[in-house]
Structure 1
Amino acid sequence: MILKKITAVILMLFVSVLSFAQSGKKLDKIIKRDYQIIECTISKVSDKTVEYSLPGETLVISLDVSQIAKIDFASGRSQTFDVSAGNNSSSSGSSTIVAASEIKQNTIAVLPVPYLNSDTQESSEDMAKFAQNDLYNKLLDKSSNIFPLTVQDLRTTNSLLHKAGIDHNNIDETPIEDLEKILGVDNIVAAKVSYTMNSGTTATTYNSGNAKISDNNKKVKTNDISTTTANTQVYYYYTVYFDMYKNTSKIYSQTRKPFLAVKDSWIDSISYLLKRSPIYTKK
């Protein structure tokens, strides 16, 4: 009787451990062309379909590869799909490039701007978009200074990059010739902001006092009161990388460190480098 109870307890523990292991299992991700993401376990990939099952289910679902843009496997490997090219899939490292229908001459695209903390190697998606938008607006404001170039709409740029599975994290790893094909432009501006942070504390002391006259010897006595205030200042040390390409050739490459170590000083460096680029002419 006791043996049966021990066996039952061991069986329950085994089932619990197995369930926990399965629940903590890293899943594959299917990114569809309509931007829907499916977290699942993929069992088979063929030229026409991908078979997978959802977490906690044994039912196998089949999905046509024409609906799939990319698969991120739990192992870390990625696979992109391009049905229109007649070659439905390719592994990462030799990804199929989904090219635009044509290259628009005298058109410049602004890439997402990686914004990287050099100490932690953490990249901010929000700041990457903000920096990209800032550079894009600077080009629009100076459209007369970059004639005959026209700036590709930012939504178009980001949509095409998204479909190709490219963002601020892997934009540096993608060859410029591939980016020009994906975006359909013959000019590209690529910037990157790298920074480190430091902090310093300064103390300021204020003195105040009340003077009193002694009744006996007429000496002056002072009761001093001192107040010390500590101020902590955060310093940002930026390095801004700025590159321009035309027909896959690099036509301009500069690096600049802002003079001031304040939070938004990188913006001034972007403006400085843009105005000295070969596409900019003074009016």
Structure 2
Amino acid sequence: MDRRFRCASSFTIIASHNYRLECTNIGKTNVPMGEGHYHVMVDGMDMAHLVGPFCSKSIQIPGRGLAAGRHTITVVLATDAHSMASMPTSVSFNYQPVGTKPLPAPVRSGKPTVTVLSPRNGASVGKHFTLALNVQNFHLACSLEGKRDIAGWGHVHVMVQQDGETSATPATPLLSMMKTPMGMKAGQMMMKATGMSHTALTSMLVMSMPGMVGMPCSTHIPIDLSSWRSGPATVLVLLANDDHMPTMDAAPAVLHVNIR
């Protein structure tokens, strides 16, 4: 994997590899192997440090809240259901931003809530539609994803569930590879480099997020279900903290639709 970056208030990674990058099938569990997206993590190798799923070869990562100095970016290929599909690749860099933007102050203004304004519950929708949300007492900011938690700040997780598209058990290609002699050696190297136990490594390899179609920070979200089936589907919207854990006391919004 070729890696390039520049140190500024944001930086760019350009990745090239033998893997078909696409987001059309993101979230689905019934898709062919060898396609998907990739996950990028800053200064860590777990969900709490996840910047977001990407499917383009050139991305920008906000440097907001990153201190000047040495940091590490880790990139791993992922299936459409978000299971690891490759060994992680890490690169360290010396971050010297032109200008810094500090993390925001915590906000505690009441119980956070999210509701769906449109489509209406039970509506028939096309395979492309806009999900309009009403978010109260919670500030959305993509630049904070993967950073330390700040009260009152985060983003949303959008999940779609549909029989035949998300009902299969997600594949875990890297876990299967780890059972080969070469994979066992790679796993030992990874445990040595990260300090992870065998149990922790196995848990990471089997982790998946079937149905997860996006982690946006907007109240008007374009939804692309062009490769999904026509018929009933359920959309779940959850408020998430910067480390991607569900926001305390915030009930998910549930929307039932019929895809035309």
Q: Report the TM-score, using the length of structure 1 for normalisation.
A: 0.23
Higher percent of residues as helix: 1
RCO (CA 8 Å, sep 6+): is it higher in 1 or 2? 2
Q: Report the TM-score, using the length of structure 2 for normalisation.
A: 0.25
- The structure with the larger Rg is 1
